[in-house]
Structure 1
């Protein structure tokens, strides 16, 4: 026994000694003018090890074993360099690099490197574990924007992304409501919303509402892949929206950053960050505190966000990581307005006791193994432990809020977990270079929904109730999926993709639907189990080194959601016989750039949405109108999207001592209409038949145009932006005249302008300022059928902000 213990101890000492005897490489990366390149990527080919150069262009990679390596150095707009070398035990090798200018192609992430153009990028054909070739996609780099990031201002963040509609009813910046191509922006639920590649919604296949949005001050980029992402990420019609947080700073041991913002209506925000790398260990953490009174009366908010992340390279080929995100907030909901109230004073509120809170915890574990330069494997496990709690008066806005009456309390509890395994490899077939991506997914979502509780008469946020919740339901949703997608490179210019995804969704609903005089009305347990296949394919042709045609068609599927199956605490009525929706997305486009002064992407799209779920205005026997949520037959969204950004100074003069200018236009024409669907209503005791054919899809403006111009010189930059959005309808019936509760009717067209500026000085410091809604327009983007309405939810009028920060 003793000899065994001695053997184990001796082996551990050998291991520790081996780990102690490590080599390292360091050096400096410069350009042709001998200037240091900041943020250049320095990676060891075929491994998980890599760093970025610091503000002096320096890098260091520690903890390496002896052996042969290939170092790859790259930076946007410059030629990559590779160098093979051998390391001895305990050797510290210095390797300096000078990168030359290059005209680069769409095979890399597309970045316009001009000093003036600061446009959106596109994902590489193969990025990480995903195939993006042939697909309409965008990458929004937050560093490229002058925007009110402290308040997550969506119309500025998505300004260069054509066809994105935004619901601007949450001035606190807590929740995001965006959609594309005629889909519903309701808490972004038509997108598969992820952060760092994993789900952050309550349940992507059962309740995909995005109650959590990360602070934009910590987001490095937003990746958007339109509906063609359905094979690799899930069958949502809208596609993928992935928030990629800034990774641990791999250029220094410690980076410290702070950004502090103040502004209109008592706004104060403080964002604080620390991160770095020591040998094989990388870490990062941030905390954001934000509070204010809001533009409207009764719109107080107070939020806290925290995040921590660790990653460790166990070997050069194997890395593990863990991260956790927590958010909590207190948000007062001003409620809706009638049309008359909105016209009188859009800032007023007739609800002073409505509150909302969603504490949100998202933990995640990850592992990555690099088999070779061509083959690698990734695993993620993640969960959502969260709540959605509301209290207040949820009756029609025409109902007076009696301050001595009991409020209604509704609460959801989410306990969900999932796992994804992704594999990608490059291989040769018939002399052609191909890429295969495949994966497995398991997700288990559980929602405990408690509604219609009798709350207190208090003015503040509290969720105590008298007695039991009349409605107490339990939902369980299990999703299993497998997919593959392949790139076939037929020659250097032409490639095609093909793939399939198999999904299985099992949904169970049980519990108490209501209480009547103490007697429970229990539901018979309902289980829906369905399996289906999705197929997709595309093609891409590189017309030049810097431009390409692309096209893709992919099937989509939207299961009936939990919120669809039960009436929420609103004035809406829900059809009990809702069916799942099916359809497909098609794209054909041309994108690219001209030299380093013009960036463009234009495309035609077609979205076929069968059995679409939506709302229609009905009239009951009492001649009262109400919102009815049901399958509305088939809708088709088709149109054109275009994005162009141009830097005239670089185009005509190459260089300038007075600064650079970029002008952009993001334009979309969307024809989203219903096909044949018969309707009936009761008018004066008579049944009246109608048809939705030709009616416009609700919440789908025909034009979504945004224009802007940016001037920058050295560390100074200023951007003016205008959003010009067409009118829309709140219901599928296209009701022109609003009802008394303001839940149906026209959503008028509007134009709004923003102005933002930033100044970076002395390397480490910055100052930012801006005015949102420059001309103080009065407009709204949403008529809510229920919470946080009902009624018109006004967008914010003119507000300003100023911000100061540092980074060391």
Structure 2
């Protein structure tokens, strides 16, 4: 369809008028209406209009030069009518601003504290190192587990173990093992396939459901739309026999685009039995059904196995004779020793997602997703030993150490989601309604067996139970937009049914098999607001870029590509919750009980801050937060005439408060007066989280919550030159914390500071690239993770290097 608007240079005008445009004036009105829906023109409506206009898709380009940048200038009275739009084919990508757009697709982010990071802005990241990828994101704590590919992410004093307290998403779909009954995350996407990582703090539960620790959404790459075929392979080698291969192919043929990759990682590790191997792949197909609709099919496969070398301790344990107990592994004596030689873990995950996106009209968009898959989690662990104590290496027959525990959990999940976004005029401004329906169903079979040897793969069945979850949700948010002020109330109604039934339990002979079913209704509410303090004319430069000729044309005012200056105040109050897990419905151990009136954990969260981009080369976000977490679930020990029992129940409440600040400065842009420098970009970044947490009731009253360092400071610099060379020096400083709610000395994590140096250079127009790096540059001796079996030592200084080929 060809536009009747005559001026192609006013591209935004043409796109907005594609549905019906009788004159440039009509197009201008349509343009302003679309741009008014989101900050800096990042309205997803603009993306949809680009689709409908039949604009030749350009794909997810790596260089800013590949994008079309349009800047409009208006008076202060119509600030929300002007914008900078970055059009990249099928998508309109956010311009550089320290938050997600106010309105993005079928989501509303206005008033929420949000951030995003693009892995491609860093030099090539090796071995899926999320500590580096999240270096510019405040508040997220990566607790490292170097013997496995599992990523543990904590947030503001909420437990980081298996990222259980944070909702983890891939393209808007949860990647947790089972997001209600088994909410651990053993799978994390490979960073090479990620376009950006979005993080939504307070208010995330209104959009994505359970967990109080916000939501991390991994947005994967789309097919490149201007070439029929592109091939990329990265091969990387490093310390302790590290080898990584990432190979991808993508392109477009007619209406069909494709993106496929294979991910292989393996490493022997620095401890015996700390090896791991990952084999994963994905295929994404994008089919343009029409000019204003498309289908996206994604198929994922993931298979990994790793050893579990066991834990160490910093606390000596003495026997009755006054000597150290046998098998004690003191961290200070030998941090590389192994205490578990036979423990192994395996994960298989196969998942599919089908999404239909439709621009219904210039005001309305719908997204429909259907998803489902299978996950298998297998572990075998030798019995005997204790915290930081190895089992007897020569066990007597029939002793604990001569056997092992074998656990298999299989999860089948499926669901569907409908999201709708509608823009409408209210008192002369464009307001937005976004909402939808969500359905989720999951079944889990869990078996526990007893092996007859320390390394047995099979054994005698001791327990078998089946858990099932049904969840249905209705949610909606409305952004009322009045000039510089936006107010966004929201509501989510969760209805979920959980059940668990035992088929076998030989640990409780003579007792009836247990079965329990609970229905819960959880209403969640939120209120967000933002007010634009500064949104002025485009900043223009009267001087040429450094090194340019001094001709008349060069000194003419020019519009910078960074977008208009903007500073805003934002605030949110929102509710969140944590559902019961399957293990909290029915006791599965011989000495355990579960309270019958167990409640979900509830949280009330507050955010208040200011953020902006007052200058083309400076961004910042500064704010304070407070939230409580009531009815936390935990285990307490009960001793009575019948013996000692472990009781699972609501053990108390906790509060969390603190301050966060983040800033990023392009030094060369500042020197060049806000214009791009011929010498590239040198970004200095820094962010800090100051945190104070405490249990306010229950048996742990007065104690710190887990993984709650008083401060977390990240600082560094990244230099980029014409997408040819990148060098990064990234520092992470973390204060001490505890890994258990009892704040025991054995679970104390000392403060540490880690620096990473990474570099990448490309040749022959990007067809060949070399990458190299040093992780833990200054050889810090530290650990950031403590598990049930003891301290997990982190990597000391290690090296890597590799090559990339693209054609």
Q: Which TM class, normalised by the smaller chain length?
A: 0.7 to 0.9
Whole-Å separation in 2 of the counterparts to 1:146 and 1:455:
49
Does the C-alpha gap of structure 1 residues 637 and 516 become closer, same or farther in structure 2, counting only changes over 3 Å? closer
Superposed displacement of residue 75, structure 1: 3.7
- Structure 2 unaligned spans of 5+: 12-45, 74-81, 87-91, 315-328, 396-401, 536-565
Match for residue 690 of structure 2 among 669, 675, 679: 669
2:629 alignment partner in structure 1: 609
Question: Is the 1:42–1:51 Cα contact (8 Å) retained in structure 2?
Answer: no
Does residue 373 (structure 1) correspond to residue 372 (structure 2)? The answer is no
Residue 524 (str. 1) matches residue 507 (str. 2): no
Aligned with 1:188 (options 149, 163, 171): 163
Counterpart CA distance in 1 for 2:139 and 2:485 is: 28
For residues 650 and 570 of structure 1, the distance between their equivalents in structure 2, rounded to whole angstroms, comes to 65
Describe the superposition over 1:391-413 as per-residue Cα deviations: whole angstroms up to 9, x where unpaired: 12154242524467232210100
Q: Distance in 1 between matches of 2:146 and 2:2?
A: 53
Check conservation: 2:99, 2:116, Cα contact below 8 A: yes
How far is the alpha carbon of 1:578 from its aligned partner?
3.8
1:418 matched to 2:415? The reply is yes
Select which of 482, 491, 496 maps to 1:505.
Answer: 496
Q: Is the 8 A contact 1:310 1:322 kept in 2?
A: yes
Quote the RMSD (CA, aligned, Å). 3.3
Partner deviation per Cα, 1:265-291 (whole Å, 9 max, x = no partner): 001111110111112111111101111
Q: Please report how far the alpha carbon of residue 152 of structure 1 lies from its aligned counterpart in structure 2 after TM superposition.
A: 1.5
Q: Is the 8 A contact 2:48 2:359 kept in 1?
A: no
Structure 1 partner of 2:737: 728
Candidates 43, 47, 52, aligned match of 1:47: 52
Q: How big is the shift at 1:76?
A: 7.3
Contact kept, 8 Å, 1:337 with 1:791, in 2: the verdict is yes
- Cα distance in structure 2, aligned partners of 1:570 and 1:539: 51
Aligned partner of 2:444 among 442, 447, 458: 447
Q: CA deviation at 1:237?
A: 0.7
Q: Is the 1:183–1:238 Cα contact (8 Å) retained in structure 2?
A: yes
> What corresponds to 1:62 in structure 2?
none
Residue-by-residue CA offset, 1:91-115 (whole Å, 9 max, x unaligned): xxxxxxxxxx98789xx96544xxx
Corresponding residue SS for 1:649 = helix
Q: Distance in 1 between matches of 2:794 and 2:9?
A: 48
The structural deviation recorded for 1:576 is 6.9
| CA distance in structure 2 between the partners assigned to 1:186 and 1:57 by the alignment | 34
Q: Distance in 2 between matches of 1:421 and 1:656?
A: 45
Secondary structure of the structure 2 residue equivalent to 1:265: coil
Q: Secondary structure of the residue that 1:230 maps to in structure 2? A: helix
TM-score, length basis structure 2: 0.81
User: C-alpha separation between the residues in 1 aligned to 2:169 and 2:524?
Assistant: 21
Alpha-carbon distance in 1 for matches of 2:743, 2:310: 23
Distance in 2 (alpha carbons) for counterparts of 1:600 and 1:570: 54
For the residues of structure 2 that align with 1:309 and 1:46, how far apart are their CA atoms?
A: 19
For residues 200-248 of structure 1, the C-alpha deviation after alignment (integer angstroms, 9 at most, x for no partner) is 2222122111111111111111111113111111132112111111111
| Closer/same/farther in 2, CA of residues 513 and 662 from structure 1, 3 Å limit | same
Instruction: Find out whether 1:650 has 2:640 as its counterpart.
Output: no
Match of 1:13 in 2: none
Structure 1 segments unaligned to the other structure (5+ residues): 1-20, 32-40, 59-72, 82-100, 113-119, 680-691, 739-744
**Alignment match of 1:142 (pick from 119, 135, 145):** 119
Shift of 1:569: 8.7
After TM superposition, the structure 1 = structure 2 runs for residues 380-529 of structure 1, keeping only pairs within 5 Å, are 380-395=369-384, 396=386, 397-402=388-393, 405-454=402-451, 456-458=453-455, 463-465=457-459, 467=460, 469-491=461-483, 493-512=484-503, 514-516=505-507, 519=509, 521-529=511-519
Say how many residue pairs are matched. Answer: 699
Hey, what's the Cα distance between the residues in 1 that align with 2:629 and 2:432? 31
Contact 2:120/2:195 (CA < 8 Å) preserved in 1? yes
* Range 633-642 or range 41-50, more displaced: 41-50
- Pairing 1:298–2:273 present: yes
User: Quick one: distance in 1 between partners of 2:440 and 2:597?
Assistant: 26
The aligned residue for residue 65 of structure 1 is: none
In structure 2, the partner of 1:244 is: 219
Take 2:213 and 2:802, find their aligned partners in 1: how far apart are those partners? Answer: 34
Q: If the length of structure 1 is used for normalisation, what is the TM-score?
A: 0.81
Q: Determine helix, strand or coil for the equivalent of 2:332.
A: helix
Is the 1:248–1:284 contact (alpha carbons within 8 Å) kept by the matching residues of 2?
yes
Name the CA distance, whole Å, in 2 between partners of 1:273 and 1:311. Answer: 16
Alpha-carbon separation, structure 2, partners of 1:615 and 1:671 = 24
Q: 2:188 aligns with which of 213, 217, 225?
A: 213
- Contact 1:391–1:455, Cα closer than 8 Å, also in 2: no
- Answer whether contact 2:383 2:403 (CA < 8 A) is retained: no
Please report how far the alpha carbon of residue 530 of structure 1 lies from its aligned counterpart in structure 2 after TM superposition.
1.1
> Which of 640, 656, 677 pairs up with 1:637?
656
CA distance in 2, matches of 1:670, 1:53: 44
